[in-house]
Amino acid sequence: MERTILHCDCNGFYASVECVHNPRLKEVPMAVCGNPENRRGIILAKNELAKRRGVLTAETVWQAKKKCPDLVLIPPHREEYLRYSRRVNAIYAQFTDQVEPFGIDESWLDITGSLGLFGSGKEIADQLRRRVREELGLTISVGVSYNKIYAKLGSDYRKPDATTVIDSANYREIVFPLPVTDLLFVGQSAAALLLGMRIRTIGDLAAADRSLLVARMGKIGGMLHDYAAGLDDSHVRRTSEVREIKSVGNGLTFSRNLEGWEDIRLGLTILADEVATRLRRQGLLSRTVQLTIKDPALKTITRQRPLPRPTNLARELVDACLSMMQACWNEHSPVRMLTITAQQLTEEEGGEQLSFFEPEAAIQHKKRARLEQTVDAIRDKFGRGAIQPGSVIGNDIGVDVGGMEDMEQGDEDKGGLSPF
């Protein structure tokens, strides 16, 4: 039996939530940005009026103001966005128990078992759009298809407040002409490799020789080919399948040994950036960080320490790990592998109480938080490869991608993360 999968995407989510709380913002061009006082701050989201004036997500405030001098700038309120995200998903859960969030403002739904109760895929999508609009004041775009990848392409196809059906009869007409960069998980590096093979559209990718793609790109090449051809069969997880995350970690085996604190900081920065990004996407903070070090002989040392405050910021994870390492490791001893694991996780909602006695530390923490949230927004818009820590660009530590261990630990087991 062919599945019916929905992908629901909240339109201009941050800006839309702000407009619900202050309806007057609907009448003016408005954008949410990390730091409204900083001309070099980045636009995180914008409403439709700002979009019509040419304001773009991830551009700087001064660029946006140049296009739209009367642009109203609002700081982000992440706790409210998390609250609305839960309310949206609660509506979805009334139609199926297979609701899988993908970030704060997107979710997949498998409604195959609900068709007899609520109507066709398109009818259910339209019901969801109406209920979210009437009950929460937000709009969503919904893609309807027989797999998760095409459903996501459908939700991106028409915005705002639209339903797009991509089925076995029309997918060649809708999907194949789209640029290959529209496909999930095709970032800048993959796009460059595909362009070198004269693959520009999703249709080009679907028609390409799968074995050649695997030879050139590894497993990711075969996966992207299957996504393009509509062969994705990954399931939408049931709510009961979502485990409580006990830890989030990332490990790297380097193709050359790290030697000296500069090398070590570089390795830690790469790891912490990934761990912190995942924490923020899950709305989590880490109270404790663990560091595992292996030398070329595979001798292993593990250290952990509580953090000064719960955090999901890469810089603070790097500082804690480097401090631990300097206390237990000889700078001139080679390092073959490092792993950072964030532990004792707590939800981000509700804000945190910063120390009255450390105003400078509190100010620095807020600045770093704004910066890293801005980086998240840019990556959400343009792909993970769009922006990286400056210190890792052009590095020569030879990161072995095959040696990367991405870990989210539940109650009992630990395993590699998959896209789904």
Dump pLDDT digits (tens) for 366-395: 666 766 666 666 655 555 554 555 555 455
For residues 192 and 256, state if they share a domain. no
Query: Does 238 reside within a domain?
Result: no
Q: Which residues are within 8 A (CB) of 223 and not within 5 positions of it... i.e. 6 or more apart?
A: 185
For residues 183 and 157, state if they share a domain. no
Model pTM score: 0.67
Report the percentage of the chain scoring pLDDT > 90.
60
Least-confidence region, from 21-30, 246-255, 266-275, 295-304: 246-255
For residues 295 and 147, state if they share a domain. no
Alpha-carbon separation of residue 114 from 98, 117, 152 (angstroms): 10, 5, 20
For residues 299 and 377, state if they share a domain. yes
Name the domain count of the chain. 3
For residues 397 and 270, state if they share a domain. yes
For residues 210 and 161, state if they share a domain. no
Q: What is the pLDDT of residue 375?
A: 66
Query: Does 299 reside within a domain?
Result: yes
pLDDT at 348 over 50: yes
For residues 345 and 374, state if they share a domain. yes
Average pLDDT for 183-206: 91
Q: What is the pLDDT of residue 113?
A: 95
Reported as type and span, the H/E element at residue 171 is helix 171-174
For residues 145 and 255, state if they share a domain. no
Residue 347 annotated in active site: no
Please say which residue of 188, 203, 228 terminates a domain. 228
For residues 84 and 168, state if they share a domain. yes
pLDDT at 229 over 70: yes
pLDDT at 403 over 50: no
Alpha-carbon separation of residue 398 from 258, 300, 337 (angstroms): 10, 21, 12
CATH assignment of the domain containing 201: 1.10.150.20
pLDDT in tens, 81-114: 989 999 999 999 999 999 999 888 999 999 999 9
For residues 330 and 358, state if they share a domain. yes
Determine the structural domain holding residue 111 and report its residue range.
Answer: 1-175
User: Over the range 39-52, which residues count as b (16 or more CB within 10 Å of their CB) and which as e?
Assistant: eebbbbbbbbbbbe
Catalytic annotation, pick one of 106, 274, 372, 408:
106
Query: Does 24 reside within a domain?
Result: yes
